[in-house]
Amino acid sequence: MNDAFDRRLFLQGAVSLSTLIALGLPAAAFADEGALTFGPAEPFSFDGLVDRARKLATEAYVPAEKPAADITSKLTYEELGKIKFKTEDALWANGPAPFPVTFFHLGTFFQKKVTINVVDGKNASEIIYRKSSFDMPADSPAQALPDGVGFAGFRFQEPRTGPIDWKKNDWVAFLGASYFRAIGELYQYGLSARGLAVNAADPNPPHQEEFPDFKEFWLEPVAGSTNQVKVYALLDGPSVAGAFSFLMTRDKAVLMDIDAHVFTRNDINRFGLTPLTSMYWFSETIKQTAIDWRPEVHDSDGLAMWTGGGEHIWRPLNNVPATTTSAFIDSNPRGFGLLQRDRIFDHYLDGVMYDRRPSLWVEPLAPFGEGQVQLIEIPTDDEIHDNVVAMWVPKDPVKAGQEFNLKYRLHWAADEPFPTNLARVVATRLGNGGHPGQPRPPGLRKFMIEFLGDSLKDLPYGVKPVPVITASRGELSYIFTEAVPDGINGHWRAQFDLQVTGPDPVEMRCYLKLGDKVLSETWLYQYHPF
């Protein structure tokens, strides 16, 4: 279930969670925690952690510690790949929690110390780094590290008693800034989530993007549970501090119930809650000629939204010519997520299994209020960059001294957990406009949107769904629908041409209806003329 080779590296110059989890580092296997060393027991509670974060936000920010940076900077990707955590030193290899815990070593890309504690009742003790817990070459730069420098992060292995070899497979990992991710139903890592996004891709200087850190964690078994574990985290950054609680369930999908208390030190121009981070290079929609041998390369192919008003929306992703932010205003959304809908291997042909990448859905467990789902798309010319962010942004400006409490559930699954009964968009295709056998006018673009669903299966013979199409500018023509001639009942496509001049983006909208009855979800698309 670990990626053999996941080429993603950075988001806007910051190292993302995906860098070392899935770029070929060995999946360590761990056993008995008897060899681990622990610090003294200290009282711990989540309420106390919230109080600590609240107080921290009133104090000057102190950057996370980078112990022995002169040594960890020498631990390149290649050097780090030679370092393996010893199986005999795993936490909880024999209980009480069902999931053994393994640890990531500090290195070039992850030089900040992350303190990791284990909770026992009302107390917690730090797990002390010892290089003797890692197998490493005799000439590794890490040999010079002293005990106690800390870890870079951790991951949960599969359950000891399950059918999968826990020593070689993990299902959740926390690594880098506030990034974390999990596998879905198809046993594959892909996109990431993070605690907060602060001024992400903000075009207004001096609002530089910040990457707050989960600087300390507490791991706790769930009494009597065979498929759950708890994680608590302290977040700290230049403009924020926060306390997070994760109740994580290893089921068919991976579920995370998150209770976040966030406190602001400074005014924040773009305050992104529940941020999701993914990669989209190209798909069947638009692909430059011979840019790559594969038909498609992406971790996610669209943003799905279930609005507070009940509308289901699908917005295909773009590889944009310049960084673009799209805002979808809503009140108390029922959910949104970055999905991988295309599950056909032949559409990717790559051994890194893009067809199995998880979809990630945000389900509010308490009202989000008024705000926007914001989608940030950043240009990329390779698959190594995380270039897509989706997040919830509150309506009102965020000022220093504010407190936010957010409760939500993350679904790491194969599909969105609450799919509509309406027909869904399964492909968006672009081409030259006009009619076959006739000259193709410049600036005329053809759009073909494919819909699939039960609502389109039982249409009377000769009856076609009606496309309802709007565009923010330009002229629409040659509009019609037809059944896709592949023998699949309920598979239809809407076609239209758009004539537009100038480089400015065009916002488009389309859905299918019959009479007053809506038959499909709503397709939104931002077209960049080329």
CATH number of the domain residue 23 falls in = 2.70.98.10
CATH number of the domain where residue 455 is located: 2.60.40.10
Residues 219 and 80 in one domain: yes
Cα–Cα distance between 235 and 216 in angstroms, integer? 8
Q: How many domains does the chain have?
A: 2
- 5 lies in some domain: no
**Best CA proximity match to 213, nearest among 316, 110, 77, 84:** 110
Same domain, 357 and 493: no
Query: What 3-state DSSP class applies to 455?
Result: helix
- Mean pLDDT along residues 177-191: 96
pLDDT of 19 > 90? The answer is no
**253 vs 29, higher pLDDT:** 253
* Segments forming the whole domain that contains residue 258: 10-413
Evaluate whether residue 3 is within a structural domain: no
Query: Is residue 4 included in any domain, yes or no?
Result: no
Please indicate, yes or no, if residue 40 is contained in any of the structural domains: yes
384 and 447 belong to one structural domain: no
**Within a domain: residue 64?**
yes
One domain for residues 202 and 322: yes
Domain shared by 159 and 276, yes or no = yes
- The whole-angstrom separation of Cα 180 and Cα 196 is 11
Q: Which of 387, 413, 439 is the last residue of a domain?
A: 413
- Residue 438 shares a structural domain with residue 521: yes
**pTM score, whole prediction:** 0.92
pLDDT in tens, 281-311: 999 998 888 999 999 999 999 999 999 999 9
Closest CA to 305 of 361, 347, 262, 351: 361
Share of the chain above pLDDT 90, in %: 85
Same domain? 93 vs 158: yes
Last residue of a domain, one of 389, 413, 437: 413
User: Of 378, 413, 448, which one is at a domain's C-terminal end?
Assistant: 413
Query: Is the domain of 244 the same as that of 100?
Result: yes
Same domain, 521 and 448: yes
Specify the residue for token string 């108390």: 332
Average pLDDT, the chain: 91
pLDDT digits 0-9 by tens, 213-235: 999 999 999 999 999 999 999 99
Q: Is residue 291 part of a domain?
A: yes
pLDDT in the model for residue 206: 66
Q: Is the pLDDT of residue 370 over 70?
A: yes
N-term to C-term CA, the chain: 39
Nearest to 21 by CA among 9, 31, 33, 12: 9
In a shared domain, residues 433 and 324:
no
Task: Identify whether residues 390 and 469 lie together within a single domain.
Answer: no
Does a structural domain hold residue 391? yes
What per-residue confidence (pLDDT) applies to 204? Answer: 74
Least confident of 12-21, 148-157, 221-230, 345-354: 12-21
Supply the pLDDT for residue 438.
Answer: 85
In a domain, 2, yes or no: no
Claim to verify: residue 48 and residue 175 sit in the same structural domain: yes
C-alpha–C-alpha distance, residues 445 and 283, integer Å: 17
Helices (H) and strands (E) in the chain, counts: 4, 37
